[in-house]
Amino acid sequence: NRRVIFEKRPEGWVSEDCFRVEDAPVPELGDGDVLVRNIYMSVDPYMRGRMNDEKSYTAGFALGKVMQCGAVGEIAESRNPKFEAGQIVTGMLNWETHTVVPGGAGIVRIDPALAPLPYFLGILGMPGFTAWYGLLKIGEPKAGETVYVSAASGAVGQVVGQIAKLKGCRVVGSAGDDAKCKWCVEGCGFDACFNYKTVDSVEDALKQHCPHGIDIYFENVGGRMLDAVLTRLNPFSRIALCGMISQYNLKQPEGIHNVRSLLVNKVKLQGFIISDHFDLQPEFMRDVGGWLKDGKLTYRVDVADGIDNAPKAFIGMLKGENFGKQVVKLGDD
């Protein structure tokens, strides 16, 4: 078993010396346990929060221990009647090539014929569920409304934009790279997408691309981006506050100035954590699984190779080096 240990807490930006990659023997299976050979693992922004020594909505990573992650793998050995060797499963596993799952708890079987395996960590997994929930249940889009999504080409953003198009909305995105923007428009059907790093002013870009204002903002970024959006909101608009990735590596968060817009425009702003909503997963799978099967949705994945590259892939994702959902391939599918 080759695995990644959480070696050092970051202060500000994460660096590779926060991790240590090592070999370790695979523990013996007890009664009820299963051994999963991990094939793809996910790196996600929320992991940055779990590296801090503070209370958040999920428990922090323990120093000196293997890191956890969503993963897809194959049952290599089972001492549990619910699982057989060769079955493909997903769940909370670890940054390692082989994970012993006590009692087989927290993993579920998936049908690999439904979609490529990395999709179960993206559009059919936690990020897709997040996009679906935030847009439909908080945003409540109506045909003809303008939806704006930041981090538009990422794991969550690309799904938000495409579902909003299916609901008949005008969809505008932003991303930190021209190729990402081009792909949002040409690959995902966005009406417009601008590079927030190269425009003279985000406020002006929003004015240009959202001429009738913003009815729904799907917030992935926070900070200055949120402040700019606040200047373009329509009366009774909605903000699904999903994430604030621009703030996760800052020692001091940026201030927000245009809060008065929430008052005068009677805006609904709601934060959410997707793990609170697992009861809605069947509805999500019906919707998004169905649209995917019907060819109405596309999904872009960025695959890094090998467990040794997992720390680099994670840090790269926080910096915007990923183009689509970032996963790491750990073994043959």
Nearer Cβ to ligand NDP, position 239 or 242? 242
Distance (Å, whole) CA 18 – CA 10: 6
What is the size of the binding site for ligand NDP (CB under 6 A)?
A: 29
**Pseudo-torsion of CA 305, 308, 313, 315, nearest 10°?**
-170
Distance (Å, whole) CA 216 – CA 238: 5
Nearer Cβ to ligand NDP, position 149 or 330? 149
CB of 270 to ligand NDP, least distance (A): 11
Q: Are 157 and 173 in contact (CB under 8 A)?
A: yes
* Among residues 242, 310, 315, 328, the one that binds ligand NDP under rule CB under 6 A: 242
CB neighbour list of residue 212: distance below 8 Å, 6 or more residues apart? 146, 170, 234
**DSSP code per residue over 249-275:** T-SSPPP---THHHHHTT-EEEE--GG
Binders of ligand NDP in range 118-157 (CB under 6 A): 126-127, 130, 151, 154-157
CB of 17 to ligand NDP, least distance (A): 21
CB of 13 to ligand NDP, least distance (A): 11
Nearer Cβ to ligand NDP, position 44 or 96? 44
Binding mask 84-123 for ligand NDP (x = CB under 6 A): ----------------------------------------
DSSP assigned state of 86 = T
- From 29-37, 65-73, 82-90, 267-275, give the range in contact with ligand NDP by CB under 6 A: 267-275
CB of 202 to ligand NDP, least distance (A): 10
Distance (Å, whole) CA 255 – CA 239: 18
**Would you tell me how many other CB atoms lie within 10 Å of the CB of residue 263?**
8
DSSP assigned state of 178 = H
Nearer Cβ to ligand NDP, position 77 or 177? 177
- Residue among 72, 75, 51, 69 at smallest CA distance from 61: 51
Distance (Å, whole) CA 218 – CA 160: 8
Distance (Å, whole) CA 50 – CA 28: 29
Kindly state whether residue 46 participates in binding ligand NDP, applying the rule CB under 6 A: yes
Distance (Å, whole) CA 326 – CA 328: 7
* Among residues 32, 272, 309, 331, the one that binds ligand NDP under rule CB under 6 A: 272
CB of 33 to ligand NDP, least distance (A): 29
CB neighbour list of residue 78: distance below 8 Å, 6 or more residues apart? 34, 35, 84, 85, 104
- From 89-97, 226-234, 261-269, 315-323, give the range in contact with ligand NDP by CB under 6 A: 315-323
Query: Which DSSP helix (H) or strand (E) runs through 227?
Result: helix 224-230
Kindly state whether residue 162 participates in binding ligand NDP, applying the rule CB under 6 A: no
Nearer Cβ to ligand NDP, position 151 or 169? 151
* Among residues 112, 306, 320, 331, the one that binds ligand NDP under rule CB under 6 A: 320
- From 21-29, 70-78, 106-114, 237-245, give the range in contact with ligand NDP by CB under 6 A: 237-245
Distance (Å, whole) CA 73 – CA 258: 46
Nearer Cβ to ligand NDP, position 83 or 148? 148
| Interacting residues toward ligand NDP by CB under 6 A | 44-46, 126-127, 130, 151, 154-157, 175-177, 180, 220-221, 242-246, 272-274, 317, 320, 322, 325
